[in-house]
Amino acid sequence: MPAPTAAAPPPASIEVRGLTKSYGDHRVLRGIDLTVPRGTVFALLGPNGAGKTTLVRALATLQPFDGGTARVEGRDVRTQPAAVRGLIGLTGQYASVDELLTGEENLVMVGRLLHLGRARARRRAAELLDRFDLTAAARRQTRTYSGGMRRRLDLAASLMASPPVVFLDEPTTGLDPRSRRTMWDVVRAMVADGTTVLLTTQYLEEADRLADRIAVLHGGRVATEGTAAELKAQVGRERVTLTLARPADLPAAARLLRAADPQADPADGTLSLPLHRTDDLRALLNALADARLPVTAVRITAPTLDDVFFAVTAPAELETAR
């Protein structure tokens, strides 16, 4: 018997290697590599036309791809599409609810097409309607639903089979802030239950709030990948901006702190410098106080995913990627 291996790597739920896809001359995906650990949220971030939807559709067996491999829970997407379909739930960009059916009928229909049987389909539908706060509207035709209700019903439909992997293609595009937050709560609850979620989004805040890891897709490639904190660290660190009580003190303050590489803004009477540790802030303020250069306001700014997004999706970046 082989000896048990120590510390096996955590099993990946989704593994993509060198995936390519072209429409004629247009190379939409130019070799995508992704690994999504089980039970985590992975966000694909990118501008319109970056290939996010194409990638999700390829992984969901709806879109054949040209090269590379993709596995979902160990099953090959290309050679075992039926097995993959049994493991995934997909919520597309356009809610695919049946408008003439009620919310409940929609879910029961999906349950029966999943071959759950009538009774189990009904039970599961009731459970999900309750969880997504749709019980009151369950007997209404979905054409009377709001955008947020449709998205929730659509998501509920993709959860009927309790799939271990869920793909969400722009789950909150076009939703109002309240519905967006409800959707986020729903996604967090799914992940807490052990579901793996791969979502695409154009909203940096969404990726920041929900995702364990983020890949920025640009020009058909993964431009950068990591946790939100790692990505932000790539574009710079936190900065502190100090407003001096007397703008005339600005040159003196800049001289005093010159070791920290400050930038003075005479128009605002502010001094801004990178912050390496929070301890620096205390030292900074003490030094200014000792030199009798009073400060009226302190503002700390962290880099945002916006900075990452704009840094990696700049048009010049696209050129060098070719």
Partner 1 sequence: MTTAPAPAPSPLGRAYWLLADSAVLTARSLRHNLRQFDALLLSVILPLTLLLMFVYVFGGALHVGTAYIDYVVPGILISAAGYAASQTAVAFSQDLTSGAIDRFRSLPMSSAALLTGHVTASLLRNLLSTLLVLGTAVAIGFSPATDPLAWIAALGTIALYILAICWISIAFGTIARSAEGASGFTFFVLFLPYVSSAYVPPDTMPAALRPFAEHQFVTPVIETLRGLLLGTPTDSAPAALAWCLGILAVTVPASAYLFRRRTRA
* Residues at the site binding partner 1, with contacts judged by CB under 8 A: 60-62, 64, 74-76, 79-80, 82-83, 85-86, 88-90, 92, 94-98, 100-101, 105, 109-110, 112-115, 141, 157-158
CA-nearest of 227, 251, 246 to 295 is 246
Q: In what order do the strands lie in the sheet with 165-169?
A: 88-91, 165-169, 196-201, 41-45, 213-218, 221-226
Toward partner 1, which CB reaches closer, 97 or 199? Answer: 97
Rounded to a whole number of angstroms, the minimum distance from the CB of residue 133 to partner 1 is 21
- List of residues 6+ apart from 11 with CB closer than 8 A: 37, 38
Rounded to a whole number of angstroms, the minimum distance from the CB of residue 6 to partner 1 is 21
Rounded to a whole number of angstroms, the minimum distance from the CB of residue 260 to partner 1 is 53
User: Which residues sit opposite 215 in a β-bridge?
Assistant: 44, 225
Token reading at 155: 């998501």
Q: In what order do the strands lie in the sheet with 270-274?
A: 263-265, 270-274, 239-244, 295-301
Toward partner 1, which CB reaches closer, 117 or 294? Answer: 117
Work out the end-to-end distance of the chain between its first and last CA atoms, rounded to an integer number of angstroms: 50
Toward partner 1, which CB reaches closer, 173 or 272? Answer: 173
Toward partner 1, which CB reaches closer, 19 or 95? Answer: 95
Rounded to a whole number of angstroms, the minimum distance from the CB of residue 92 to partner 1 is 5
CA-nearest of 224, 194, 218, 199 to 210 is 199
Toward partner 1, which CB reaches closer, 33 or 105? Answer: 105
Distances (CA, A) of 28 to 171, 199, 300: 22, 18, 40
Toward partner 1, which CB reaches closer, 98 or 307? Answer: 98
Rounded to a whole number of angstroms, the minimum distance from the CB of residue 60 to partner 1 is 6
Rounded to a whole number of angstroms, the minimum distance from the CB of residue 310 to partner 1 is 32
CA-nearest of 194, 191, 216 to 308 is 216
- List of residues 6+ apart from 296 with CB closer than 8 A: 243, 244, 245
